[in-house]
Amino acid sequence: MVIQSEVRWVGREEASLIVEVEPDDTIYQATLKGIGGPDFLRALCSLRGQLKGRWKDVPLPQGVRPSDLLLRELLLKARNEWNYPYADAELCHCRCVPTAVVDQAICQGAHTPQKVSAMTSASTACGTCRPDVEAILRFRLERR
């Protein structure tokens, strides 16, 4: 079975993964490519070294650095386990803030609702999107 996954932040990091898995869940071959800053490329090299053995045993990155969050997304998407908690393209309707902008702010260090609001202006008017911002924070930072 061949598994493919891609993630990218426009103008920043991006990665693609192709994994060939045997019927017994053993990784036969894996190709992981990416571009980005030094921290991201180091994390990519580290993950490359872990792409062996059983596919489901490949550990997910556990940190909250942008590289950890992006590579965790890549692996979860490849495993078909990516269940993002918000589906609409626009998260904050009062301020017209796209969901992707909120998500990228979280991945780049806005780890509280207040920091998300400061970086994006989401949830600064009526506040009805605040629970959605908090759900994305919990999902991205694994505080479920």
In the chain, CATH 3.90.1010.10 covers 2-78
Which CATH architecture fits 2-78? Alpha-Beta Complex (3.90)
Give the pLDDT of residue 131.
96
DSSP string over the chain: -EEEEEEE-TTS-EEEEEEEE-TTSBEEEEEEEEE--HHHHHHHHHHHHH--SBGGGSPPP-S-SHHHHHHHHHHHHHTT----S---SEEETTTTEEHHHHHHHHHTT--SHHHHHHHH-TTSSS-TTHHHHHHHHHHHTT--
Q: Across the 144 residues of the chain, what is the mean pLDDT of every consecutive 10-residue run?
A: 91 93 95 95 95 95 92 95 94 95 93 96 93 95 69
In the chain, CATH 1.10.10.1100 covers 90-140
Give the pLDDT of residue 144.
44
Give the pLDDT of residue 143.
60
CATH 1.10.10.1100 correct for 90-140: yes
